């Protein structure tokens, strides 16, 4: 009989340790306590940065809760005497609802809207299964909405400032490439290599080549170097590039969508080289010249 009682308590997780009286007055549910809350009294966090929850992983968590109960309580803030708002633990909350639980153990605390957003973002960042773009977007929201400097941000999330900077730079990539990183087609290492390419067309060319040829990060870095090399303007025999050439390169490069290379000899004569990366790219440039 004792063994059966022990097993039942284990299966109910934290709930077995809490006062679960259904007749308890909600007004007694004070800040700083961990108590069983009715799931119907809890609303989701409007500041939750995570919009996608893996259904398979959620089902696995639900099965675990069904067997062992909720081991770690969710955190909520009190809105009024009868309603609460999630601060953290939405997966546990969703999983508990999935298996039909009517209550969930919750720690009650106070938090204003800004604190809610910050806690939700920081908790999201600390997850291990986030893609690099999701982390970068959370960092950017902390910078924009909480007004943190990169130095403050690095302290708040426990990361080196250089790490934070590398994530934020990923947001400069073309949206197509960002999506590819979110879907796992390329790694953060690939993304960091692609950031060094200024022209979007060149970024997309390398991205497509990574997918087609299954390039490693090292191979991608080498390809990026090759693409950037022609963009270095060659100097004249006297070692000086005429100012009219320097001033004209950005305009011509922007027109063709590629960084052009220019060579000028000592007599002031020279040539312009326009790079292309595929038949489609060549035809695009050709059309510009028609």
Residues 122, 157: Cα–Cα separation, whole Å: 6
Active site annotation includes 123: no
- What the block records as the tokens of 163 is 């790490």
**Alpha helical stretches, state H, the chain:** 2-11, 55-68, 90-98, 113-125, 132-145, 150-157, 161-169, 175-182, 188-194, 200-213, 217-228, 243-256, 279-289
With residue 262 as reference, give the H or E element that holds it.
strand 261-264
- Annotated catalytic residue: which of 36, 90, 118, 123? 90
With residue 258 as reference, give the H or E element that holds it.
none
- Give the strand pairing for 270-273 and 261-264: antiparallel
**Residue 188 CB coordination number (10 Å):** 17
- CA dihedral of 10, 12, 14, 16, whole degrees rounded to 10: -80
Rg (the chain; Cα; Å): 28
- What the block records as the tokens of 214 is 């299954």
Residue with tokens 């990361």: 159
Residues 96, 39: Cα–Cα separation, whole Å: 9
Query: CA dist 283 to 98, 134, 252, 277, Å?
Result: 55, 36, 17, 11
- Which residues are tagged catalytic? 90
């Amino acid at each position: 009989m004792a063994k059966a009682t022990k097993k039942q308590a284990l299966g109910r997780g934290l709930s077995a340790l809490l006062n679960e009286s259904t007749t308890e007055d909600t007004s007694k549910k004070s800040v700083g306590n961990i108590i069983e809350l009715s799931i119907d009294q809890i609303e989701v966090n409007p500041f939750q940065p995570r919009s996608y929850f893996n259904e398979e992983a959620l089902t696995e968590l639900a099965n675990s809760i069904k067997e062992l109960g909720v081991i770690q309580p969710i955190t909520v803030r009190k809105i009024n005497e009868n309603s609460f708002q999630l601060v953290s633990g939405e997966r546990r909350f969703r999983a508990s609802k999935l298996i039909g639980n009517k209550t969930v153990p919750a720690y009650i605390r106070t938090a204003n809207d800004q604190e809610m957003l910050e806690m939700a973002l920081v908790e999201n960042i600390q997850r291990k299964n986030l893609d690099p773009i999701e982390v970068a977007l959370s960092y950017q929201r902390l910078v924009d909405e909480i007004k943190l400097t990169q130095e403050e941000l690095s302290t708040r999330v426990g990361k080196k400032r250089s790490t934070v900077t590398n994530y934020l730079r990923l947001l400069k990539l073309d949206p197509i490439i960002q999506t590819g990183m979110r879907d796992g087609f390329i790694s953060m290492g690939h993304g960091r290599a692609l950031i060094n390419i200024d022209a979007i067309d060149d970024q997309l060319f390398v991205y497509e080549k990574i997918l087609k040829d299954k390039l490693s990060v090292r191979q991608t870095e080498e390809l990026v170097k090759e693409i950037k090399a022609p963009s270095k303007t060659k100097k004249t025999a006297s070692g000086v590039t005429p100012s009219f050439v320097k001033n004209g390169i950005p305009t011509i490069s922007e027109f063709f969508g590629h960084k052009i290379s220019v060579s000028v000899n000592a007599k002031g004569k020279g040539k312009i080289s326009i790079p292309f990366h595929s038949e489609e790219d060549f035809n695009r440039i050709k059309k510009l010249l028609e």
